[in-house]
Amino acid sequence: WRFVNDEPIVNEFRTLADLPATSRESDALSKDLKSRGFKFIGSTVIYAHMQATGMVNDHVLDCFRRRQILDAG
């Protein structure tokens, strides 16, 4: 969580086409893990992990889950 300053990143994408495959944070985390000996752990895989664990909220603005997640946070 230190790569996101211990707070979820809440993005404001309008469409699924706007979602990135990586971010500065996923690049940094991937690089850190590789320096610790991890293999096959690129930035795209890390970004997907960040989305799955709630480090990044990429629900598009009109997604019904977006508001639910923000309210629960």
Residue 57 belongs to domain with CATH number: 1.10.340.30
Is residue 58 helix, strand or coil?
A: coil
pLDDT of residue 73: 72
Is residue 56 helix, strand or coil?
A: strand
Domain region containing 44: 2-72
Total number of domains constituting the chain: 1
Torsion 32-24-10-7 (CA) sign: positive
- For residues 60 and 66, give the distance between their C-alpha atoms in angstroms, rounded to a whole number: 7
Residues 26 and 72: beta-carbon distance below 8 Å: no
Residues 29 and 3: beta-carbon distance below 8 Å: yes
pLDDT of residue 25: 98
- Summarised one tens digit per residue, pLDDT across range 10-44 is 999 999 999 999 999 999 999 999 999 999 999 99
Residue 6 — pLDDT band, cuts 50, 70, 90?
very high
In this structure, the chain runs to a length of 73
- Summarised one tens digit per residue, pLDDT across range 35-64 is 999 999 999 999 999 999 999 999 999 999
